[in-house]
Amino acid sequence: STETSTALRVPKTELHIHIEGALEPELTFALAERNGITLPYAGVEELRGKYEFGDLQSFLDLYYTGMNVLRSAADFTELADGYLARAAAQGVRHAEIFFDPQAHTTRGVALETVLDGLEASLSSSEHRFGISTELIACFLRDRGSEEASRMLDELLEHRQRIIGIGLDSAELGHPPGDFATVFSRARQAGLRLVAHAGEEGPADYVWQALDVLGVERVDHGVRALDDPELVSRLARDRIPLTVCPLSNVRLRGVANLREHSLPRLVDAGVLATINSDDPSYFGGYVGDNFRAIERELGFDEAALREFARNSVEASFLRDSRREQLL
Ligand code: ADE
Ligand code: ZN
């Protein structure tokens, strides 16, 4: 339909995509075979059948298990190439891509292997796919601030290879404020700052991300709607939220898309952007998220284009490329 083509065709910037969440079951099996790993699933369909989640943790369990097939730099290159091909087909022109270094280093894969592999794909993404890219390294909040601090030391040896840092993994019980020192050190090194907050956690975690960590964007942030004062603050200071509609439904943050808080955030004047989070696990890439909000929430073409413009505004793009995308 024309609806479909609009949602996919609008040029997009994606600001919330975990590259490990773009691991498609077909690649999981190919890499398992290449690396001599036996998977506890008969095949691709059985694995895909496991993608049924009750909450964030039930997803994370599968997500961390799945990425165990990523071993060599070439594996990470193929992962990123697969994302770029699918993103390009859905109109993506710029992507600021998360990766989880600790999820690899703690199982014996060196940070350098991860960075070399991702960069071998991403350094030519604009030429090959028309997608400019940046990398954001996320700390796993459930592993604590001391390990995050040591990972930051290691990341700073590769300072020029990343644009910023983020904070992800199991949110409840792991408030942003715990990472104040780590984020302050990263800021001093000139890194851009983002954090997941208000996905499952309370509005208070969003306040902490803003006022203790000083983040420039909030990832998810949908629980902000529980706190009118917070919504006013986000709107007044034009602090972007990277909203991931299909993710919120699949992780049961909301019963169905029609009940999603996105329209209320938009009405309150919040700078909302649309993103895929973990596209292989949540039923679609960013264009599929645009299509879903068009169909289920009634956002029209003008509204979809505004979401896409919001992402350019919320991006860490240099001005010359920013102008090309507006
Ligand atoms: N890691 C990958 N996807 C995530 C999400 N949606 N929330 C927290 N951590 C994540
Ligand atoms: Zn995320």
Q: Cα–Cα distance between 172 and 198 in angstroms, integer? A: 9
Residue nearest to atom 4 of ligand 1 (CA): 169
- Residue ranges making up the domain that contains 62: 2-314
* CATH code for position 167: 3.20.20.140
Q: Does a structural domain hold residue 322? A: no
204 annotated among ligand-binding-site residues: no
Q: Is 277 in the pocket of ligand 1 (CB under 6 A)?
A: yes
pLDDT value, residue 3: 55
Q: Does a structural domain hold residue 324? A: no
Report the catalytic residues.
Answer: 199
> CB under 8 Å to 120, separation ≥6 — which residues?
73, 74, 76, 77
Whether ipTM > 0.85 holds is: yes
- pLDDT tens for the 326 residues of the chain, in order: 555 678 999 999 999 999 999 999 999 999 999 999 999 999 999 999 999 999 999 999 999 999 999 999 999 999 999 999 999 999 999 999 999 999 999 999 999 999 999 999 999 999 999 999 999 999 999 999 999 999 999 999 999 999 999 999 999 999 999 999 999 999 999 999 999 999 999 999 999 999 999 999 999 999 999 999 999 999 999 999 999 999 999 999 999 999 999 999 999 999 999 999 999 999 999 999 999 999 999 999 999 999 999 999 999 999 999 999 98
Question: Helices in 124-239 by DSSP H: which ranges?
Answer: 125-129, 145-156, 180-188, 203-208, 228-236
Q: Which atom of ligand 1 is nearest to the CA of 247?
A: 6
Q: Does a structural domain hold residue 72? A: yes
* CA 172 to mean position of chain CA atoms: 18
Q: Cα–Cα distance between 245 and 254 in angstroms, integer? A: 9
Q: Is 278 in the pocket of ligand 1 (CB under 6 A)?
A: yes
Secondary structure element (H or E) that encloses residue 222, with its range = none
Whether the CB-CB separation of 113 and 77 falls below 8 Å is answered with: no
* CA 160 to mean position of chain CA atoms: 20
Q: Does a structural domain hold residue 261? A: yes
pLDDT tens per residue across span 46-96: 999 999 999 999 999 999 999 999 999 999 999 999 999 999 999 999 999
Q: Does a structural domain hold residue 243? A: yes
pLDDT value, residue 112: 98
pLDDT value, residue 42: 96
Q: Does a structural domain hold residue 276? A: yes
Distance 323 CA to ligand 1 centre (A): 30
196 annotated among ligand-binding-site residues: yes
Question: Buried b vs exposed e over 37-61: b needs ≥16 C-beta within 10 Å?
Answer: eebebeebeebbebbebeebeebbe
**Token pair of 77, please?**
């290159």
Secondary structure element (H or E) that encloses residue 303, with its range = helix 301-314
Q: Does a structural domain hold residue 319? A: no
16 annotated among ligand-binding-site residues: yes
- Which of the listed residues 196, 218, 223 should we mutate to test ligand 1's pocket, taking the one with most ligand atoms within 8 A of CB? 196
Q: At CB < 8 A and 24+ separation, what contacts does 254-257 make?
A: 254/222, 256/296, 257/292, 257/293, 257/296, 257/297
Q: Which atom of ligand 1 is nearest to the CA of 244?
A: 6
Q: Is 219 in the pocket of ligand 1 (CB under 6 A)?
A: no
Q: Is 140 in the pocket of ligand 1 (CB under 6 A)?
A: no
Residue nearest to atom 9 of ligand 1 (CA): 169
pLDDT value, residue 6: 85
Q: Does a structural domain hold residue 325? A: no
- Nearest ligand by distance to the CA of 55: 1
Number of domains in the chain: 1
Q: Is 288 in the pocket of ligand 1 (CB under 6 A)?
A: no
Q: Cα–Cα distance between 215 and 237 in angstroms, integer? A: 12
What is the amino acid identity at position 234?
L
